Amino acid sequence: MYAIVETGGKQYKVSSGDTIKVDKMAEEAGAAVTLDKVLAVVRDEKDKKNKIGAPYVKGAEVKAEVIGAVKGEKVIVHKQRPRKVYRKTNGHRQQYTALKINEIVIGGKDGA
């Protein structure tokens, strides 16, 4: 079983036990997080009870735990103008929050 969740304007395919990197969140390490913007829940590829949201699945949520803050790879940005004395180099490291997915909860009368 897996779910498609939206957080930080991006979509992630998650299943129980996965670890994902999302945009930086304010929660501390060890805190419990609930992702309630679930776009789809797929139990089995051939199952008729898969749920697709419009835009979100009602009553579905993904429970996760914050592992901690991590940084991405360093990106070098270099700008230069031809025939001018203009050179500028900057670096950037994006900050992420690592989440461990604990469970996918489906609400409703035929859920879970």
DSSP code of 97?
A: E
The residue whose two tokens read 């991405």 is 72
What per-residue confidence (pLDDT) applies to 28?
95
pTM: 0.81
What per-residue confidence (pLDDT) applies to 33?
97
What per-residue confidence (pLDDT) applies to 43?
87
What per-residue confidence (pLDDT) applies to 108?
63
Closest CA to 38 of 64, 17, 12: 12
What per-residue confidence (pLDDT) applies to 47?
72
**Regions of the chain with pLDDT less than 70:** 108-112
What per-residue confidence (pLDDT) applies to 71?
97
What per-residue confidence (pLDDT) applies to 109?
56
